[in-house]
Amino acid sequence: MKKPKLIIFASGSKDGGGSGFENLVLAQKKGILEAEIVAVVSNNENGGVREKADYLGVRFIYFPKPWSAEFYQSIVENSGAEWVALSGWLKLVKGLDQRKTFNIHPALLSQLNGRFGGVGMYGHHVHEAVRKSLYSGEISESGFSMHFVTDEYDRGPVFFEFRVPISKEMTSEEIGLAVNSAEHGWQPKITNMVIHNNISWDGKSPNSLVVPNGFAYLPRKV
């Protein structure tokens, strides 16, 4: 049976990162993610993502600026990928098929009217914002969201959220570790559902979002 071809965009850092990409590759090797991972893309030429790609035997593509629609489209087309997964990719995506491009975000996009998504809400910035809202009594949990990608940061339709209990004694780093652990458990399974069309939308209206009956998810208010 032909497996869907998947390309992963993961910024990582010059010194590390790329754990989400690595988790997807390991899930693919175990048969949890039924996909052909054709390449991984990073904006860091020599960093954690490249190191993991070399170790795992996955084609690495360096993508420096400008991050224009033309170059996004060229990379995906030349790779032969049918689907695009963003996993720690920190640049605004332009020009890709919104039906076939999806992201994992390290916070609940449904919380506080989307406060933990959008410009500047990535990495430790997200977890620090969550910690402040936790300390002020506005929230008692964090988590992660998976959503389709549009031309605005974190504003495409959310198709899955997983909630993680947190406490006021936790630092932003500890919140991040708890969320990351949950991400690694669920991301391959939900990714598999998307690339096999169990979860879909028309790329235009959030109301077109389709998920399996009884599927536990919480869409973001639009």
- Rounded to whole angstroms, the Cα distance separating 214 from 198 reads 12
Q: Is the separation of the CB atoms in 28 and 17 below 8 Å? A: no
Strand ranges in 77-190 using DSSP code E only, listed in sequence order: 83-87, 101-105, 141-148, 158-165
Domain 1-96 falls under CATH 3.40.640.10: no
Parse the chain into domains and list their residue ranges.
Answer: 1-96, 105-222
Walk along the chain (222 residues) and give the pLDDT tens digit of each residue: 799 999 999 999 999 999 999 999 999 999 999 999 999 999 999 999 999 999 999 999 999 999 999 999 999 999 999 999 999 999 999 999 999 999 999 999 999 999 999 999 999 999 999 999 999 999 999 999 999 999 999 999 999 999 999 999 999 999 999 999 999 999 999 999 999 999 999 999 999 999 987 665 554 332
User: How many C-beta atoms surround the C-beta of residue 71 within 10 A?
Assistant: 15
Name the class of domain 105-222. alpha beta
Q: Is the separation of the CB atoms in 109 and 102 below 8 Å? A: no
- Rounded to whole angstroms, the Cα distance separating 33 from 191 reads 7
- Residue 213: per-residue pLDDT: 77
Bridge-based pairing of strands 158-165 and 36-42 is unpaired
Q: Is the separation of the CB atoms in 207 and 45 below 8 Å? A: no
Structure letter (DSSP) for residue 148: E
Whose tokens are 């994992």? That residue is 104
Domains 1-96 and 105-222 share a fold: yes
pTM to 2 decimal places: 0.95
Max CA-CA distance within the chain? 52
pLDDT tens-digit series, residues 167-199? 999 999 999 999 999 999 999 999 999 999 999
